[in-house]
């Protein structure tokens, strides 16, 4: 099976641990991804202004590239890319007037009418592969690892492009169970990590992140999984700053969900690129006997 | 031979049909066989600046034009583009574009350094106006995208044919100077991402070791031209002779041509 793939900028550098583990895991599950030959930054944030067509040019251009490449489905890994591209796609399907304006402006490109389906990796694994098959492919079940899901905002909101229930999503729960780990429920799995506030108002972002970490730790999570490089930055790589804000917080390793999937599927540790995670991540996997100690 | 165009040598010897073109809104009838640059000279304009190399590689003569009944902006290098009837044109020899200052010795070759020098990169909305206006047909927006995702190799490859004419920056709604950014990226690529030339290092080391000292002293001993009369002394005549007889790579040389002379180039056989 071949699947169109839009990586997004971060996945080529800072979040290469997301890309490699994701692509290799899909290979192990029998799916080969076909990366878009030409693609540009999707813009990362979907503009909420109704007449702001210019911010749609970038994601629509990516969709046109997918169409030109003969793909009828394009998969994203970063939650923000998913959100931006899926919403742009929806607009191209539904809003005839704006679609015409955009196609008219993008006259050097193929006309686009929303022909390509946009899916998120998690959604693809759930719907096109299935948790049973994932569970059957697990070679290294992550026993004794208590994992909390972190959905963030952009996978499940707004409703028209959500990949799962907006209030009570279960995809990560199903994944955690499929890879043999223990699912930990906690109330802040969809609390915003602070997103881009980390740049302009870092304290606000770190505060909300502290709430997420505290809430997951109280319910016994050893680790969190997520799918968004910006959430990972705020909750994972900035966690030392987070812990500085609130007493009693312990390091809570944060993984991309595809990293735990990859290790459960028995893939080589190199596919995880753990040097890109917070330092406690690798140690946790070693302590739990999931990775052989170096 | 000087390549300076005059009305005389700009005028074709064979009778060519005259066509109307509009230079900055004023109509001129010019021979249809001329390039825009020659046509402007034919019309009486004199290039003081903005003529450049006249060979299509320096980027000094970027020109924008439109044709009646077509809203598209068209571009070309004045020295390369042949005139068309009823074209409305203006040359844009210079357009303000800031080039970031950075200390090359401090650069470590990371894309973050490019972002720091040119944060406006992230104002790109992928409108693609830059690509559409590039006379070299470079996918400018694509290399901007590549830089944004840290793919220095790709950006280097895509931007390699850039002649720095600056037309991309005239159209950029993010107000960036794409070509300066690409130049920084190509420098980084050249220094940090490509294999370094070993024979160049060997050559430099040999020079420092004095491999050429004797030869240089020999040449210096030939003396100088008489500073008052500028007459050629016998030493200078010898110098000219040596210069003219020097060994150079022939135009038809094979791919792996190597010089015969010990002095022409340090050979790789350990000399």
Instruction: Name the band, by pLDDT with cuts 50, 70 and 90, for residue B37.
Output: very high
pLDDT, residue B27, reads 98
pLDDT, residue A178, reads 98
Domain count, chain B: 2
Q: Does B32 touch chain A (CB under 8 A)?
A: no
Chain A hits for B125, CB-CB cut-off 8 Å, are: 43, 54-55, 57-58
Q: Judge whether B248 lies within some domain.
A: no
ipTM of the complex: 0.92
pLDDT, residue B123, reads 96
Cβ B149–A9 below 8 Å, yes or no?
yes
Cβ A13–B150 below 8 Å, yes or no?
yes
Domain extent, residue B66, equals: 10-91
| CATH number attached to the domain at A138-287 | 3.40.50.11810
pLDDT, residue A173, reads 98
Cis peptide before A55 (omega within 30 of 0): no
Cβ B145–A55 below 8 Å, yes or no?
no
CATH number at residue B176: 1.10.1060.10
pLDDT, residue B151, reads 96
Give the span between the Cα atoms of B100 and B120, in whole angstroms. 11
CA-based nearest distance B197→chain A, Å: 28
Of B132, B145, B173, the CB nearest to A40: B145
Q: Judge whether B227 lies within some domain.
A: no
pLDDT, residue B270, reads 45
Ranges of CATH 3.40.50.11810 domains, chain A: 138-287
Instruction: Name the band, by pLDDT with cuts 50, 70 and 90, for residue A294.
Output: very low
Cα angle for residues A145, A138, A149 (degrees, 5° grid):
40
Chain B hits for A44, CB-CB cut-off 8 Å, are: none
**How far from the centroid of its chain's Cα atoms is residue A172's Cα?**
11
Cβ A58–B125 below 8 Å, yes or no?
yes
Q: Which of A126, A56, A124 is nearest to A85 (CA)?
A: A56
What are the backbone angles phi and psi of residue A131, rounded to the nearest 5°? Answer: -65, -35
CATH number at residue B57: 3.10.20.30
Residue corresponding to tokens 């830059």: B130
Please, which residues have CB within 8 angstroms of residue B24's CB and are 6 or more apart in sequence?
Answer: B89, B90
Give the span between the Cα atoms of B121 and B210, in whole angstroms. 47
Topology, domain A2-121: Glutathione S-transferase Yfyf (Class Pi); Chain A, domain 2 (1.20.1050)
Ranges of CATH 1.20.1050.140 domains, chain A: 2-121
Give the span between the Cα atoms of B50 and A45, in whole angstroms. 42
- Considering just the CA atoms, what is the radius of gyration of chain A in Å? 19
pLDDT tens, position by position, A97-125: 999 999 999 999 999 999 999 999 999 99
Chain A hits for B142, CB-CB cut-off 8 Å, are: 38, 40
Last residue in a domain, options B193, B226, B248: B193
Q: Judge whether B98 lies within some domain.
A: no
**pLDDT at position B266 over 60:** no
């Amino acid at each position: 099976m071949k699947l169109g793939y839009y990586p997004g900028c971060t996945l080529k550098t800072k979040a290469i641990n997301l890309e490699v583990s994701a692509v290799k895991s899909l290979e192990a599950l029998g799916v080969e991804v076909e990366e878009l030959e030409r693609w540009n930054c999707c813009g990362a944030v979907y503009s909420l202004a109704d007449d702001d067509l210019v911010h749609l040019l970038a994601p629509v251009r990516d969709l046109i590239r997918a169409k030109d490449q003969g793909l009828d489905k394009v998969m994203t890994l970063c939650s923000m890319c998913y959100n931006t591209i899926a919403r742009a796609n929806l607009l191209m399907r539904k809003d005839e007037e704006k679609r015409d304006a955009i196609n008219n402006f993008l006259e050097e490109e193929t006309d686009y009418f929303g022909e390509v389906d946009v899916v998120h990796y998690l959604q693809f694994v759930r719907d096109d592969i299935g948790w049973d098959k994932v569970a059957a492919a697990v070679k290294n079940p992550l026993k004794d690892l208590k994992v909390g899901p972190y959905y963030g905002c952009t996978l499940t909101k707004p409703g028209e492009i959500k990949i799962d229930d907006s209030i009570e999503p279960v995809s990560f729960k199903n994944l955690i169970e499929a890879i043999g780990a223990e699912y930990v429920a906690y109330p802040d799995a969809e609390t915003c990590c602070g997103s881009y506030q980390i740049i302009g108002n870092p304290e606000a972002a770190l505060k909300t992140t502290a709430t997420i970490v505290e809430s997951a730790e109280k319910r016994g999570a050893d680790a969190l999984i997520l799918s968004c490089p910006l959430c990972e930055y705020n909750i994972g790589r900035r966690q030392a700053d987070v812990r500085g804000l609130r007493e009693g917080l312990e390091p809570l390793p944060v993984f991309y969900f595809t990293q735990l999937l990859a290790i459960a599927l028995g893939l080589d540790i190199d596919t995880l690129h753990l040097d890109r995670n917070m330092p406690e991540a690798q140690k946790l996997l070693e302590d739990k006997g999931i990775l052989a100690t170096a | 031979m000087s390549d300076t165009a005059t009305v005389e040598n700009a005028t074709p010897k064979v009778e060519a049909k005259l066509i109307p073109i509009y230079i900055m809104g004023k109509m001129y009838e010019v021979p249809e066989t001329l390039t825009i640059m020659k046509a402007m000279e034919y019309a009486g304009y004199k290039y003081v600046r903005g003529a450049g190399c006249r060979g299509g590689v320096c980027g000094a003569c970027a020109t924008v034009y439109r044709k009646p009944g077509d809203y598209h902006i068209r571009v070309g290098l004045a020295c390369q583009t042949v005139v068309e009837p009823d074209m409305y044109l203006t040359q844009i020899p210079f357009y303000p574009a800031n080039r970031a200052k950075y200390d090359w010795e401090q650069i470590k070759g990371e894309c973050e350094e490019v972002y720091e020098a040119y944060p406006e990169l992230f104002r790109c909305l992928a409108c693609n106006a830059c690509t559409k206006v590039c006379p070299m047909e470079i996918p400018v927006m694509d290399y901007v995208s590549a830089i944004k995702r840290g793919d220095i190799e790709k950006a280097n490859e895509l931007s390699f044919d850039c002649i720095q004419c600056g037309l991309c920056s005239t159209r950029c709604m993010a107000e960036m100077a794409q070509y300066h950014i690409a130049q920084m990226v190509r420098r980084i690529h050249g220094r940090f991402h490509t294999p370094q030339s070993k024979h160049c290092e060997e050559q430099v080391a040999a020079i420092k070791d004095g491999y050429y000292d004797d030869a240089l002293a020999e040449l210096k001993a030939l003396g100088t031209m008489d500073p008052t009369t500028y007459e050629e002394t016998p030493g200078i005549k010898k110098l000219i002779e040596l210069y003219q007889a020097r060994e150079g790579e022939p135009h038809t040389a094979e791919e792996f041509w190597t010089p015969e002379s010990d002095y022409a180039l340090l050979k790789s056989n350990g000399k």
